[in-house]
Amino acid sequence: MKKNRKNWTKEEVLEVYNKPLLELVFLAAQVHREYHNPSEVQVSTLLSIKTGGCPEDCGYCPQAARYHTDIEKNDLMSVQTVKAQALRAQSSGSSRVCMGAAWRNVKEGPEFDQVLEMVRTVRDLDMEVCCTLGMLTPDQARRLSDAGLYAYNHNLDTSEEHYKKVISTRGYEDRIETIGNARKAGLTVCSGGIVGMGESVEDRAAMLVTLSNLNPYPESVPINALVAVEGTPMEEQEQIPIWDMIRMVATTRIVLPTTTVRLSAGRTEMTDEGQALCFMSGAGSIFAGDKLLTTPNPDINKDMQLFNTLGLVPQKAYKKGDKPAVNENYKNSNSSDKKIKWSRPAHTIEANIAATKSAKEKRKLETKS
């Protein structure tokens, strides 16, 4: 098997994905041991620094303002609150903090300036800092890099074809462009997807092909299992079998041998045995804490018990890359790229429209009562 190569075809990825499960896990475990320490798993903490009110229509997301979910909308966190939560995460074994804001795209102004200070503050704690803030211009990526950001997360979510059935308010090309902007600014890239959104196996393979053809491909790839949230268009979507997650983790490991495969959303529905097979198949990171942005997540103590059972230890910060230097120029913006216009696709998604209509009706009833 060719290793650490680019330009996989969908047919080749499907051939890997569809191998007998135990053979697939074995092959993935071999690749994992060649490129990574199988006893180390990075513990990351995901903070929702600004929750709810997002103008997008992502069919899976409870933070979309147009849907009626139980998400409590919160304004941007203070720098001190973020620092306190980062210190708490660090004391529990986390070496990486990912800060997420429910924005379509980053906008210049006081809030972005505040995020830049959050980045510098957490970086100064000797933790890896990752952000997921929506679409990003080249200069915004540069400022984040100058502030000490280590990684930028911007998930592809699924294949380009299936993407049109999930989201209508932005285009796939915007995802690719933002990843490129982050890369040009010297940031490492974190980009993966969600399985269980009604996609086909071919869609899963196509997403991995797209990731593998990025040059270079992402340093980390989150694999999420859909968490169906009431009020979203995907509220009735059935939970995928654990075998699908194991196959996806193992295939990702083989196709992208040097990347860190992150076992992300959906772990609350996985057994310890299922997670163990994911670790054996190449998962090298988990997200810790009681929530992943807005969805439930296993307790950190339970995770540490599982680590102890499996003989795993938390990975230290910057094990796979250097700590970024800070350039004070992060405080200064370059206005030349502020006028970038992100796409507004013309298509509509029936399920998203229906969920939006239902949300309006529920809000009317709540107002009357």
pLDDT for position 289? 66
pLDDT value at residue 333: 87
- pTM for this one? 0.93
Active-site residue set? 54, 58, 61, 98, 130, 190, 262
Secondary structure E strands in the chain: 40-50, 96-101, 128-132, 151-153, 188-190, 193-195, 220-225, 260-263, 283-288, 291-292, 295-296, 313-314
What's 159's domain CATH number? Answer: 3.20.20.70
Q: Are 154 and 131 in contact (CB under 8 A)?
A: no
* Stretches in the chain below the pLDDT threshold 70: 1-6, 289-298, 335-339, 369
Cβ–Cβ < 8 Å for 220, 190: yes
Answer whether residue 4 is part of any domain. no
Rounded to the nearest angstrom, the gap between the alpha carbon of residue 137 and the centroid of all alpha carbons in its chain is 19
- Show the domain range for 77: 21-315+342-368
pLDDT for res 369? 66
- The domain total for the chain is 1
Is residue 333 in some structural domain?
no
Name all contacts of 298-304 with Cβ < 8 Å and 24+ positions apart: 298/267, 298/268, 300/43, 300/92, 300/93, 303/43, 304/93
pLDDT of residue 1: 38
Helix and strand element counts for the chain (H, E)? 12, 12
DSSP 162-198: HHTTT-SSS-HHHHHHHHHHHHHTT-EEE--EEE-SS
- Could you tell me if residue 14 is inside a domain? no
Does a structural domain hold residue 10?
no
pLDDT for the residue 14: 98
